[in-house]
Copies of this chain bind each other. A is one copy, B any other.
Amino acid sequence: MKMLINVPETVVADALRGIAAAHPELTVDVERRVIVRRGAPFEGKVGLVSGGGSGHEPLHGGFVGRGMLTAACPGEVFTSPVPDQMVRAATAVDSGAGVLFIVKNYTGDVLNFDMAAELAEDEGVRVAKVLVNDDVAVIDSTYTAGRRGTSGTLFVEKIAGALAEEGAPLDQVADIARRVNESSRSFSVALTACSTPAKGGPTFDLPDGELELGVGIHGEPGRERRAMMTSGEIADASVEAVVDDLKPDAPLLLLVNGMGGTPLLELYGFAAEVHRVLAERRIPVARTLVGNYVTSLDMSGASVSICQVDEELLRLWDAPVATPGLRWGC
């Protein structure tokens, strides 16, 4: 498997050097692996910190900026960052208003963010945590007890980030983050496995004529393997999975997310099919976002994420955001 890298050992550090070069609006500590919005801490503003294994870009580092995360901690590829990174991020962004940790539900991430929260509290930082577990595919998985956190994380980071930007206190920012997570569901489909630099090839075996329904963002097993399906059939299955679980009674934010290796041309065609299925079910869509936002390296496939919104959540979704990976209104 050919990769555009130097050596596997420096992939994350090399990427951080690139982020530093391309984004002067971010402060990147390449050595210690922390990406911070320049100018932090911001007087009176709650800091939002997330992080996780690398390989899901632009999540999380690409979501640092006005109206979203204040800092991100990238781990090695598909490996949790360490508590040290999280503590550094927390102390770098805390203005005294406290810090919210946004944690995808993987055992390593949960343990490390828990430890980091204790250490940061010892240093006088008030910390709240929200666990993201939006993936409906399976309960318990390779790296997870309970449901996995996947592309719904984008909804949590965007909406909580917007409320923090308005100066809301820590408990309110944490509450809305939890509310967004409870209102969000995701389901992912893999057409191919992804290849990590360390392994140098596919991390699991997915035969030519098959796809994996409900796959995890590290290639964890999903619900079932099936013979290859059309875009429309995949949309049917994906929408059924998230809608039957959430049973929405309010308009949706819809994220049609590419896993990294699927061309945007195909992704927009898939978005059309997802819209068709939602229309058939008479479920209104308030906003649609299509693109590669929560990826699995070079995996082919897509995920469907929904978040049901009231007026407040929709207003916060529409609020200005200026990050490398998501940007509107400013």
Contacts and interface: CB of A to CB of B under 8 A. Distances in A.
Interface stretch (A133-141, A243-251, A259-267): A259-267
Interface stretch (A4-12, A89-97, A159-167, A214-222): A4-12
B4 A301 contact: yes
A273 B231 CA distance: 38
A32 interface: no
Copies in the complex: 2
B269 A11 contact: yes
A4 B191 contact: yes
- Residue of A14, A77, A269, A328 with most partner-chain B CB within 10 A: A269
A323 to B, nearest CB: 11
Interface string A122-153: 00000000000000000000000000000000
Interface string A52-64: 0011011000100
Interface stretch (A17-25, A170-178, A309-317): A17-25
A100 interface: no
Contacts of A232: 6
Contacts of A268: 14-16, 18-19, 22, 57
Interface stretch (A38-46, A110-118, A286-294): A286-294
A72 interface: no
Contacts of A15: 265-266, 268-269, 272
- Residue of A55, A298, A324 with most partner-chain B CB within 10 A: A298
A211 B2 contact: yes
A300 interface: yes
A254 to B, nearest CB: 8
A78 to B, nearest CB: 11
A317 to B, nearest CB: 14
A295 B264 CA distance: 9
Contacts of A260: 263-264
Contacts of A272: 14-15, 17-18, 20-21
A68 interface: no
Contacts of A262: 4, 298
11 contacts: A4-B267, A4-B300, A6-B273, A7-B230, A14-B231, A14-B268, A15-B269, A17-B275, A22-B271, A22-B288, A264-B292
Interface of A: 2-7, 10-12, 14-23, 54-55, 57-58, 62, 77, 191-192, 208-209, 211, 228, 230-232, 234, 256, 260-273, 275, 285, 288-290, 292, 295, 297-298, 300-302, 322, 324, 327-330
